[in-house]
Chain A
Amino acid sequence: MSSKTKPRVAVFKFASCDGCQLSLLDAEDELLGLAGAIEISHFPEASRATHKGPYDIAIVEGSITTHHDAERIQEIRRQSKTLITIGACATAGGIQALRNWKDTDEFIRLVYATPQFISTLKLSTPIAEHVPVDFELRGCPINKYQLIELIAAKLAGRKPNIPTYSVCLECKRKSNVCIAVAQGAPCLGPVTQAGCGALCPTYNRACYGCYGPMETPNTASLTTQFRIFGQTDEQISRSFRGFNAWAWQFRKASEECERS
């Protein structure tokens, strides 16, 4: 197949750690095959060759935190037939959304000696708050097999097979003993979307919610249960204020803990 007929894929980065786009390079067994099926038009982390749009698929990592980035995403949307966002930063604002409850100017003063050099927005927000997004792939970091499934599905014009149920189902399938029930551990698994393979419980620790809220999370019930486990509201609030703190379901849960 000539490169003229291959779908053109571009990878863009906003505020993030690079980990989610690295997942593409971490797909060691699939990378060369994938690179044969598509034309990688723009992927600075991997290549110095870049081509202008339009693109068939834009893969966007990172959250919007600057005026410049808020404008840049608009142009990327205009250039892209399909836009998918990957990772907790792009889908929920990321860990840097913790600034959303604080005075950003104070943050700048804490980290930088000359605050006037730094230009940033008050909020760290997900891409979908700025432009329409065709699919949001969750996780901090994303699961590379889910990313490959998503790209394959978009190329085939079908719906991706990405579950929206909770981590609990993955735990059950792995026959893990429930660490919340057995150890009273404050596990976010019941309200967190599957995709990681129930990693934390498998490693004998409570899920910390890095895949963000599942489709219909009952955070109020989980909060009650955490209190029964002896967690303070401050601790519960911190649990929801992790890598998906600004996802509205987790945001609401943490704010309710702060108010009570």
Chain B
Amino acid sequence: MTGRTIRVETLARVEGEGELFIKMAGDRVADVKLKIYEPPRFFEAFLRGRHFSEAPDITARICGICPVAYQMSAIHAIERALGLRIDPAVRLLRRLFYCGEWIESHALHVYMLHAPDFLGYPDAIAMAKDHKSTVERALRLKKIGNRIVSLLGGREIHPVSAAVGGFFKVPAKRDLHGLIEDLNWALEASLETVRWTAGLEFPDFEQDYEFVALRHPDEYPLCEGRLVSNSGLDIDAAEYEDHFVESHVKHSNALHSVMRGRGSYLVGPLARFNLNFDRLPEVARHAATEAGLRPPVRNPFRSIIVRAVELVFACAEALRTIREYEPPEAPRVDAPARAGAGQAITEAPRGILYHRYALSDKGLILAAKIVPPTSQNLKRIEDDLREYAAHVVAWPLEDATWKCEQAVRNYDPCISCATHFLKLRVERN
């Protein structure tokens, strides 16, 4: 035998279940498979026949880590199908709601799922033995993100208040003002997170990516904007399926999404940062520059710093929305049923999340399509590994395996989402 296999049967510190398999032939990578064995759950199928008002609660259950993203994409797509106009105060609250999820999800990934790879610990709990104040900072940051989601939505996982047309209940100004002290701390902690992550060691690895993210005329994107790329894509959500196609590969219960005629692409923090650097608030841009980040960032390992910059953004944006908030006239507008179809893309912490619904005149869902960020990144992760594994081929197997796992975790993959949709195996002959 002249080659080796890197194989990780249960890929850890990702959400959901998958396996990594890399087969080496000499110093060449013969095969890379990110096998998704997380069992399929058929959300698009059982949404059929349900009322549109149930979609935000049902689709939230695709992912316990980013339920707000599912609720936001579902709600925006359905509102488009119904032709609803939304109160600007509700729009502001949705941004705050989403910032809460970004803070909670990014703090979890940066410190508890990704940082242990850089520092050589199996997990954040082991890391806490040597870096207690760092892990405590992570937990407090995460808690503040969760507090925002709970305040607006009732609870951090599968919140109950978001609805088509608005919210079931909106907060009073004083409720939001109670968050300011925590958020001022969180903003400082996020700036410290940028400095801390910038001090980590990064492999010398860059790729020529097609970055895909939303772009909004004045804001760093969350719920609105056109879908753009660094290669000239510039489309409305309604055109998404003309440009992107999901293919079903044998080794995976998750669908792989590719760009028609172009292949894999990258969504998430790196894409957003590279395409929207000029839309970041000054405090986040300054922190990024100090950390040595200038777009385009093409080293996926450095996504941990970009996530930290997005933490700065999310805290600053949350503070802005709280300062500007005046309660809406009504928590939500009426949403009378009518036949129609609507699409929406929002920026989940891991990247763009596409939803499409077709509705009957009674408000029942006739068809639904959901493309989560991780299924869009899956092919790109495999492409990264194909290149990256060659860099570590000569390493001892355990070290090479760990490093390849880290390369997967660069993407903060959420497998539960993608099967609606990971295990790592690296085989060396």
The finding on whether chains A and B are genuine partners in a shared complex, rather than unrelated, reads yes
B-contacting residues of A (Cβ < 8 Å)?
Answer: 13-23, 25-26, 28-29, 31-32, 35, 40, 43-50, 65-66, 68-69, 94-96, 98-99, 102, 104, 106-108, 110-114, 117-118, 120, 140-141, 196, 199-200, 202-205, 208, 210, 235, 238, 242-243
Q: Which residues of A contact B124 (CB under 8 A)?
A: 46
| A25 pairs with B67, CB closer than 8 A | no
* B248 located at the interface, meaning its Cβ lies under 8 Å from any Cβ of chain A in the complex: yes
Among A31, A110, A203, the most chain B Cβ lie within 10 Å of the Cβ of A203
| Given A98-B46, A108-B42, A114-B250: A46 and B112 interface contact (C-beta under 8 Å) | yes
Q: Contact mask B32-47 → A, CB, 8 Å, 1/0?
A: 0000011111111110
Chain B residue nearest to A31 (CB atoms) is B139
* B298 located at the interface, meaning its Cβ lies under 8 Å from any Cβ of chain A in the complex: no
* B317 located at the interface, meaning its Cβ lies under 8 Å from any Cβ of chain A in the complex: no
9 contacts between A and B (CB under 8 A): A16-B64, A17-B62, A18-B63, A22-B15, A28-B142, A31-B125, A99-B45, A102-B45, A113-B246
Q: Bound state CA distance, A15 and B126, in angstroms? A: 28
| A22 pairs with B64, CB closer than 8 A | yes
| A112 pairs with B57, CB closer than 8 A | no
Chain B residue nearest to A98 (CB atoms) is B46
| A45 pairs with B13, CB closer than 8 A | yes
A187 to chain B, nearest CB (A): 13
Contact of B143 among A20, A29, A95, A140 (CB under 8 A): A29
| Given A18-B63, A50-B12: A210 and B158 interface contact (C-beta under 8 Å) | yes
| B248 pairs with A204, CB closer than 8 A | no
Q: Which residues of B contact A196 (CB under 8 A)?
A: 155
| B157 pairs with A26, CB closer than 8 A | yes
| B51 pairs with A102, CB closer than 8 A | no
* B14 located at the interface, meaning its Cβ lies under 8 Å from any Cβ of chain A in the complex: yes
Chain B residues 93-125 with CB under 8 Å of chain A are 108, 112, 116, 122-125
Q: Which residues of B contact A13 (CB under 8 A)?
A: 16-17
| B154 pairs with A140, CB closer than 8 A | no
Chain B residue nearest to A34 (CB atoms) is B125
Among B58, B61, B154, B156, the most chain A Cβ lie within 10 Å of the Cβ of B61
* B85 located at the interface, meaning its Cβ lies under 8 Å from any Cβ of chain A in the complex: no
| B248 pairs with A48, CB closer than 8 A | no
* B390 located at the interface, meaning its Cβ lies under 8 Å from any Cβ of chain A in the complex: no
Chain A residue nearest to B37 (CB atoms) is A68
| B12 pairs with A45, CB closer than 8 A | yes
Q: Bound state CA distance, A20 and B416, in angstroms? A: 12
Q: Which residues of A contact B128 (CB under 8 A)?
A: 32, 35
* B412 located at the interface, meaning its Cβ lies under 8 Å from any Cβ of chain A in the complex: no
Ranked nearest first, the 5 interchain pairs of A and B with the lowest CB-CB distance are A19-B64, A47-B123, A49-B122, A48-B12, A107-B45
* B135 located at the interface, meaning its Cβ lies under 8 Å from any Cβ of chain A in the complex: yes
Q: Which residues of A contact B46 (CB under 8 A)?
A: 95-96, 98-99, 102, 107
Chain B residues 44-61 with CB under 8 Å of chain A are 44-46, 48, 50-51, 54, 57-58, 61
| A19 pairs with B158, CB closer than 8 A | yes
Chain B residues 242-292 with CB under 8 Å of chain A are 246-250, 253, 255
| B125 pairs with A40, CB closer than 8 A | yes
Among A20, A199, A202, the most chain B Cβ lie within 10 Å of the Cβ of A199
| A141 pairs with B139, CB closer than 8 A | no
| Given A18-B63, A205-B160, A243-B61: A49 and B54 interface contact (C-beta under 8 Å) | no
Q: Bound state CA distance, A22 and B146, in angstroms? A: 12
Q: Which residues of A contact B414 (CB under 8 A)?
A: 18
- For the A-B complex with A19-B67, A112-B255, A202-B154 known, give 16 more contacts whose Cβ atoms are closer than 8 Å: A15-B38, A17-B62, A20-B157, A22-B15, A29-B139, A29-B143, A32-B136, A40-B123, A95-B58, A99-B45, A99-B46, A102-B46, A113-B247, A200-B168, A204-B168, A205-B168
| B405 pairs with A48, CB closer than 8 A | yes
| Given A99-B46, A208-B57: A50 and B41 interface contact (C-beta under 8 Å) | no
Q: Bound state CA distance, A68 and B15, in angstroms? A: 20
B208 to chain A, nearest CB (A): 29
A79 to chain B, nearest CB (A): 15
| A65 pairs with B62, CB closer than 8 A | no
Q: Bound state CA distance, A220 and B51, in angstroms? A: 23
* B360 located at the interface, meaning its Cβ lies under 8 Å from any Cβ of chain A in the complex: no
Q: Bound state CA distance, A50 and B17, in angstroms? A: 14
* B10 located at the interface, meaning its Cβ lies under 8 Å from any Cβ of chain A in the complex: yes
| B42 pairs with A141, CB closer than 8 A | no
Chain A residue nearest to B146 (CB atoms) is A26
A236 to chain B, nearest CB (A): 13
* B134 located at the interface, meaning its Cβ lies under 8 Å from any Cβ of chain A in the complex: no
| A44 pairs with B10, CB closer than 8 A | yes
Q: Bound state CA distance, A25 and B136, in angstroms? A: 12
